[in-house]
Structure 1
């Protein structure tokens, strides 16, 4: 005798109960300078295509010109919002942050305990910025990279986010003296919370660093890989930098654990990293499991 319709429905419900439905970790996205949440619509779309149903939060705040506010001010704001997401997702989250947003996210992940599995730093000036980019020429047409330190390394200048991570290789003593953000985050200057910063940052499971030679904004582009200029403007790779050698903020610890994953992708301009599907599929998606 065949099953009734009601019995078939019960059997189907029982079957669904035992079918494993993929569950993806919450993903936090952070936009770059002068942008809004809409900048990351393509990236959010890629994530939903690849992992349907993923809970994605695009952090909203300090949009447009407000992104020029001091970095610590922005970090304090986003820290409270990210902390709530961490608490709501005890199994861990992923964080994907673009350009200046990558430094903001790094600041958050250094200053609080977190449960981030993968931190994807997408074309972010992690070792600082020193270059005549289009942004710099637009904001300060009367300055060049060689003389803008006169503004940036002042109390007034440090009220600007860009100045907070301006790293002039020709004026390092002044940078160390005046930097109110990057030098502190790197534990290059006195920081009473240096050990806390190091422990928090090095607790990441994966640090994914993405950049490329055709970026056109991050200068040098290798800053996205924690490399930077020396006094001759020769790029010195991450492993030969003092912050790595002395493990000031946990970079060497992460590397020795095999947690750092670097990608060098040619042919991508700065404004296209977050909307390039090839970049997403090769370098971001593998870390969102």
Structure 2
């Protein structure tokens, strides 16, 4: 009787799904964004899956500079990886997608699949729709504050603000996104690239009705040129030069993009169609 039980236990251990780390967006909380959705749906669909919502830098603390957040999240992820040598998955929303990219790029990780859910991977340039009628002109002036040592050291959003009309200042002052992309030379780029290429799969999710990410194509590594026309991922300099390994992943068929119409920013993590089509199939 012991042998069949041991065989069943061993088989269940071998066939178990990889655990999933969830990282929330700006002003968000792990429980507020995920407790009734991904945190519940993933184990329901993939029985036995362990889900780790990262309960760090929630609400207004999410405005803490990116590298400070990344350092603490990285320690948490390292503790998780110790217990899961076969690998883990990342599912990361909005600003959380950039945090996850910073984490996996700056550590020796075993992240198998990184799902970036409506995240401004190429940067943000624009005001969310609910605020536009009050402060729409702010985006043209924001660089004066955000491209300064003070705000780069105080505000997460400043770290990935990407003004297409002031790229010289972006390269000079951005302490997070420009070095991570290789837009600004950094001694760490070789490490970022090496770690980024450890991913087996990168999944990029976004859509044209997103009312926060500007442009929405930033979720697919597309971004504005100096005329504010969107340039797709494959024509971005960091892609063509393969600065951090994105072109290599893409060429090897390890990048998948999804575009969903009609979904606003706060609906990405509550939409079951998005989950079923673009997230669940990659969490194996």
Taking structure 1 as the reference length, what is the TM-score of the superposition?
A: 0.92
Looking at structure 1, the residues matched to 130 and 47 of structure 2 have their Cα atoms a distance apart, in angstroms, of 36
Looking at structure 1, the residues matched to 183 and 106 of structure 2 have their Cα atoms a distance apart, in angstroms, of 16
Looking at structure 2, the residues matched to 224 and 285 of structure 1 have their Cα atoms a distance apart, in angstroms, of 19
Note the residue ranges of structure 1 that are not aligned, 5 or more in a row. 1-9
- Secondary structure of residue in 1 paired with 2:90: strand
- Secondary structure of residue in 1 paired with 2:67: helix
- Secondary structure of residue in 2 paired with 1:108: helix
Structure 1 residue 166 displacement after superposition: 0.3
Say whether residues 1:49 and 2:44 are aligned partners. Answer: yes
Structure 1 residue 154 displacement after superposition: 1.1
Looking at structure 2, the residues matched to 168 and 65 of structure 1 have their Cα atoms a distance apart, in angstroms, of 24
Match of 1:240 among 235, 238, 241: 235
- Secondary structure of residue in 2 paired with 1:112: coil
Give 4+ residue runs of structure 1 displaced > 6 Å after superposition: none
Structure 1 residue 16 displacement after superposition: 4.8
Looking at structure 1, the residues matched to 191 and 131 of structure 2 have their Cα atoms a distance apart, in angstroms, of 33
Match of 1:156 among 150, 162, 181: 150
**Bigger radius of gyration:** 1
Is the CA contact 2:127–2:136 (under 8 Å) kept in the aligned structure 1?
Answer: no
Map 1:166-245 to 2 at 5 A: 166-245=161-240
CA RMSD of aligned residues (A): 1.7
Is the CA contact 1:43–1:274 (under 8 Å) kept in the aligned structure 2?
Answer: yes
Residue 28 of structure 2: aligned partner: 35
Looking at structure 2, the residues matched to 166 and 37 of structure 1 have their Cα atoms a distance apart, in angstroms, of 24
Match of 1:72 among 58, 62, 67: 67
Structure 1 residue 219 displacement after superposition: 0.5
Taking structure 2 as the reference length, what is the TM-score of the superposition?
A: 0.93
Note the residue ranges of structure 2 that are not aligned, 5 or more in a row. none
- Secondary structure of residue in 2 paired with 1:146: helix
CA offsets per residue over residues 91-112 of structure 1, 9 Å max, x none? 1111100000000000001101
Structure 1 residue 143 displacement after superposition: 5.5
